[in-house]
């Protein structure tokens, strides 16, 4: 949608589920705005997910503003095509005033005024208020050691992974065991590929426990309503790696120990390379034990909730390891192991260099409270743990968008009220 207007009450940078959710809320309040999207609306769900991708959280948690999941399987897990069909419906329902294929190069204060200047590849816009809804996953993390791998080794970041067929024959090294790493390792493993998995300290969670999805229990326990300010780690929780589990084939645990029993080779943290040899820390056992401790700890909290509320449920269980590493191997020869490909699954970094405002900490992350920065009229939306666990997900973005719409509307009315008061004062003097 092209626009001849260059000034808006609000400019939203980012046309994913967060930006569109806020657009819906602003339309309800009659606030003019423009959504600017670098690619196409909700593009990442089409372009940055592998073929067998499915939701990790149950479908009932898909609850965007005015667009809840209405399918026949609320406790199931939508696959990639279903997710994109559902999102396409949301795009159609919102009908956001949007510019697609336009890059925002800089957001800054417009001189001494309270307005913002938004410099883009399609020209310059101004706005009374700006919302950065571009997410927090901008720059794929690929370590410098990747440059030292032999030229014949095929390398991908998790955002580029699609399916096992894109790799040449041979074994695949997957680096990282968070949600993406563990699921990609499983995808390759199920396809019959030989997988070497370099682990990290990612936690894991049960899929089903005592008769229900663990997500259902945690929702009953109000965990997903806990604000970051009440979390024991406070803002530190934003740095946590997501728990690994899957919604594949109806949902199940991901147990790396079980994969090892089936032939997957597990290692500790990948630290470097010397000659032909990959080097790992001897901390595989520590990583597996840590993940299982978190797994059993979450189950124990569910047990306590069931006991306190006298809920009739199947008896409790405790995970017992099905495999233990006999030795901590710290080197692997690329040639001897037959590794021909690597998938880097160690996350992303935020990149807000284009936001010219003194609202960032030493790590380049915005400092805010529920998305509201200390610079008037500048907000963030869609970041992990912006307010709650669901802030960067389909389950919590609606609450965050409604809250920001209230803040935006309140500031707009205050500014209008101040301007009116000044006009009345001038009129009375004259």
Is residue 396, in this structure, part of any structural domain at all?
A: yes
Is the distance from CB of 354 to CB of 361 less than 8 angstroms? no
pLDDT above 70 for 337: yes
Task: Mark which of 297, 316, 344 sits at the end of a domain.
Answer: 344
H or E stretch covering 118: strand 116-120
Task: Mark which of 297, 326, 344 sits at the end of a domain.
Answer: 344
* 323 and 184 share one domain: yes
**What whole-number distance in Å separates Cα of residue 52 and Cα of residue 41?**
22
The one-character DSSP state at 73 is -
pLDDT at residue 427, as a whole number: 56
40 — pLDDT class (breaks 50, 70, 90): very high
pLDDT at residue 239, as a whole number: 83
- Give the 3-state secondary structure of the chain: CCCCCCEEEEEEECCCHHHHHHHHHHHHCCCCEEEEECCCCCCHHHHCCCCCCECCCCHHHCEECCEECCCCCCCCCCEHHHHHHHHHHHHHHHCCCEEECCCEEEEEECCCCCCEEEEECCEEEEEEEEEECCCCCCEECCCHHHHHCCCCCEEEEHHHCCCHHHCCCCEEEEECCCHHHHHHHHHHHHCCCCEEEECCCCCECCCEECCEEHHHHHHHCCHHHCCHHHCCCHHHHHHCCCCECECHHHCECCCHHHHHHCCCEEECCEEEEECCEEEECCCHHHHHHHHHHHHHHHHHHHHHHHHHCCCCCCCCCCCCCCCCCCCCCCEEEHHHHCEEEEEECCCEECCCCCECCCCECCCCCECCECCECCCCCEEECCCCCCCCHHHHCCCCHHHHHHHHHHHHHHHHHHHHHHHHHHHHHHHHHC
Is residue 27, in this structure, part of any structural domain at all?
A: yes
Nearest one of 393, 403, 389, 394 to 221, comparing CA atoms: 389
Task: Mark which of 304, 320, 344 sits at the end of a domain.
Answer: 344
Sign of the Cα torsion 86, 87, 92, 95 reads positive
Summary mean pLDDT of the chain: 94
Domain range holding 37?
Answer: 7-138+350-425
> pLDDT tens for residues 176-189?
999 999 999 999 99
pLDDT above 90 for 417: no
pLDDT at residue 1, as a whole number: 46
418 — pLDDT class (breaks 50, 70, 90): low
Nearest one of 158, 159, 211 to 182, comparing CA atoms: 158
* 322 and 183 share one domain: yes
Alpha helices in 202-319 (DSSP H): 214-220, 256-261, 284-308
* 237 and 333 share one domain: yes
* 152 and 260 share one domain: yes
HSE-up (13 A, CA, CB side) for residue 115: 13
Is residue 232, in this structure, part of any structural domain at all?
A: yes
Is residue 2, in this structure, part of any structural domain at all?
A: no
Token pair recorded at residue 231: 């979390």
pLDDT at residue 190, as a whole number: 98
pLDDT at residue 112, as a whole number: 76
- Kindly state the average pLDDT of the residues 128-156: 94
* 26 and 167 share one domain: no
| Ramachandran bin of 347, using left for φ above 0, alpha for ψ from -120 to 50, beta for the remaining angles | left
* 265 and 324 share one domain: yes
Nearest one of 223, 208, 215 to 313, comparing CA atoms: 208
pLDDT at residue 424, as a whole number: 56
* 226 and 267 share one domain: yes
The residue assigned the tokens 């743990």 is: 385
Query: In this structure, what CATH number is given to the domain that contains residue 126?
Result: 3.50.50.60
Residues in a beta bridge with 99: 36
* 299 and 417 share one domain: no
| Ramachandran bin of 335, using left for φ above 0, alpha for ψ from -120 to 50, beta for the remaining angles | alpha
pLDDT at residue 73, as a whole number: 98
415 — pLDDT class (breaks 50, 70, 90): confident
> pLDDT tens for residues 357-411?
999 999 899 999 999 999 999 999 999 999 999 999 999 999 999 999 999 999 9
* 23 and 77 share one domain: yes
**What whole-number distance in Å separates Cα of residue 277 and Cα of residue 294?**
32
* 244 and 318 share one domain: yes
Percentage, residues of the chain above pLDDT 70: 96
- DSSP sequence for 381-429: -S-TTSSSGGGGSTTTHHHHHHHHHHHHHHHHHHHHHHHHHHHHHHHHH
Number of domains composing the chain: 2
> pLDDT tens for residues 202-256?
999 999 999 999 999 999 999 999 999 999 988 888 888 899 999 999 999 999 9
**What whole-number distance in Å separates Cα of residue 296 and Cα of residue 67?**
35
Is residue 1, in this structure, part of any structural domain at all?
A: no
Nearest one of 19, 37, 38 to 27, comparing CA atoms: 19
* 124 and 266 share one domain: no
pLDDT at residue 405, as a whole number: 98
> pLDDT tens for residues 260-274?
999 999 999 999 999
**What whole-number distance in Å separates Cα of residue 25 and Cα of residue 399?**
10
> pLDDT tens for residues 266-314?
999 999 999 999 999 999 999 999 999 999 999 999 999 999 999 999 9
Centroid of chain to Cα 254:
19
- Kindly state the average pLDDT of the residues 23-42: 98
Q: What is this structure's pTM?
A: 0.94
* 132 and 222 share one domain: no
């Amino acid at each position: 949608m092209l626009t001849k207007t260059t000034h808006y009450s609000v400019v939203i940078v980012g046309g994913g589920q967060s930006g569109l959710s806020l657009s819906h809320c602003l339309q309800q309040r009659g606030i003019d705005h423009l959504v600017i999207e670098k690619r196409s609306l909700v593009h990442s769900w089409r372009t940055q997910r592998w073929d067998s991708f499915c939701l990790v959280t149950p479908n009932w948690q898909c609850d965007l503003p005015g667009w809840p999941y209405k399918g026949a399987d609320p406790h199931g897990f939508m696959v990639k095509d279903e997710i994109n069909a559902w999102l396409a419906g949301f795009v159609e329902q919102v009908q956001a005033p949007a510019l697609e294929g336009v890059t925002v190069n800089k957001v800054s204060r417009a001189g001494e005024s309270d307005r913002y200047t938004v410099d883009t590849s399609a020209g310059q816009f101004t706005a009374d208020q700006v919302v950065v809804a571009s997410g927090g996953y901008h720059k794929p993390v690929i370590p410098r050691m990747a440059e030292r791998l032999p030229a014949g080794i095929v390398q991908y970041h998790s955002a580029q992974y699609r399916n096992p067929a894109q790799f040449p024959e041979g074994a695949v090294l997957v680096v990282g065991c968070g949600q993406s790493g563990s699921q990609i390792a499983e995808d390759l493993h199920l396809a019959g590929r030989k997988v070497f998995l370099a682990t990290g300290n990612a936690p894991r969670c049960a899929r089903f426990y005592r008769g229900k999805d663990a997500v259902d229990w945690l929702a009953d326990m109000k965990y997903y309503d806990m604000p970051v300010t009440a979390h024991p780690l406070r803002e530190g929780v934003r740095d946590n790696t997501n728990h690994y589990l899957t919604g594949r084939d109806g949902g199940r645990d991901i147990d790396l120990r079980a994969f090892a029993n089936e032939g997957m080779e597990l290692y500790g943290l990948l630290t470097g390379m010397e000659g032909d040899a990959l080097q790992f820390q001897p901390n595989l056992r520590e990583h597996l034990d840590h993940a299982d401790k978190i797994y059993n700890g979450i189950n124990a909290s569910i047990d306590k909730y069931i006991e306190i509320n006298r809920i009739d449920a199947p008896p409790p269980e405790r995970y017992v390891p099905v495999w233990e590493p006999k030795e901590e191997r710290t080197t692997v020869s690329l040639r001897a192991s037959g590794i021909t490909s690597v998938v880097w699954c160690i996350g992303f970094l935020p990149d807000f260099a284009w936001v010219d405002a003194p609202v960032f900490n030493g790590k380049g992350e915005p400092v805010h409270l529920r998305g509201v920065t200390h610079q008037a009229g500048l907000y963030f939306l869609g970041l992990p743990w912006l307010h709650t666990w669901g802030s960067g997900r389909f389950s919590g973005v609606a609450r965050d968008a409604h809250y920001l719409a209230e803040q935006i509307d309140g500031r707009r009315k205050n500014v209008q009220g101040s301007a009116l008061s000044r006009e009345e004062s001038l009129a009375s003097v004259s």
